[in-house]
Amino acid sequence: MHLALEPDEVVRCIQARLALPDCPCRGFVAEVQRVIDLRMPQEEKHLWSPALGLQIEADREQGRGSVVHALIGPEPAVWTAIAFCYVALITGLLFTVTLGAVQNFLGQSPWAFWIAGALLLVMVGVWWVARAGKQLAVPQTIVLRHFLEDALGLDRSQHELTEADPYHE
């Protein structure tokens, strides 16, 4: 998003909001690099709690102001676990499909295809769990988004719309 505030001002605004006692999240700020990581407080955290990563830079197109790049998603450990599951399942799937094809080519019973089918079902299960986790994270995603909007003084008229449809842009 493009802001009229200079990058250092954006960092200061977020730091000031993080310092308030009623702050709904916790944050880690790297001032020099202008990188901010926002997360839910430890007592409200669960496996699918989101993290909001911000990178603030000067707006070179406008010559003034700043550009805030934001990425919201599960904690890095959750991303890594899901990615590892997919890589392991795809590797196993490729192996078992190849083995089944070789068994079939040699005229043997291609029992490896049954394992490939089971791996496909597990992959669908991992996908379903990830989708369910995404839905469980929606309320906290809204909290992080509203925190950012409030800290930067953005248009509050979007709050009702965001609560009804958190992925509406």
Q: Which long-range contacts (CB under 8 A, 24 or more apart) does 148-151 make?
A: 148/14, 148/38, 148/52, 148/54, 148/70, 150/17, 151/13, 151/14, 151/16, 151/17, 151/18
Contact 66, 56 (CB under 8 A): yes
Look up residue 120 and give its DSSP letter.
H
Task: Provide the CATH number for the domain around residue 144.
Answer: 3.30.310.80
In degrees and rounded to multiples of 5, residue 65 shows phi and psi of: 80, -165
Domain count, the chain: 2
46 in the same domain as 59: yes
Q: Is the pLDDT of residue 96 over 90?
A: yes
Q: Are residues 70 and 84 in the same domain?
A: no
- Mean pLDDT across the chain, nearest whole number? 87
Output the CA torsion sign for 98, 103, 106, 107.
Answer: negative
Q: Which pLDDT belongs to residue 157?
A: 58
Judge if 28 and 103 occupy the same domain: no
Whether residue 2 is predicted with pLDDT greater than 50 in this model: the reply is: yes
φ, ψ for residue 29 (rounded to 5)? Answer: -120, 130
Q: Global pTM?
A: 0.75
If asked whether residues 69 and 83 sit together in one domain, one would say no
Between these two residues, 160 and 92, which has the higher pLDDT value? 92
The answer to whether position 169 is within a domain reads: no
Question: In this model, does residue 167 exceed pLDDT 60?
Answer: no
pLDDT in tens, 106-125: 999 999 999 999 999 999 99
Estimate to the nearest angstrom the gap between the alpha carbon of 6 and the chain centroid: 26
Same domain, 71 and 83: no
Report pLDDT for 64: 84
* pLDDT at residue 169 in the model: 45
Does residue 163 belong to any structural domain of this protein?
no
| Ramachandran angles phi, psi of 35, nearest 5° | -120, 135
Does 96 map to a domain? Answer: yes
Mean pLDDT of 63-82: 88
**pLDDT for the residue numbered 156:** 61
d(CA 93, CA 6): 50
In which residue are the tokens 């200079």 written?
A: 6
Domain that holds residue 122: 79-134
- Asked if 84 and 20 sit in the same domain, the reply is no
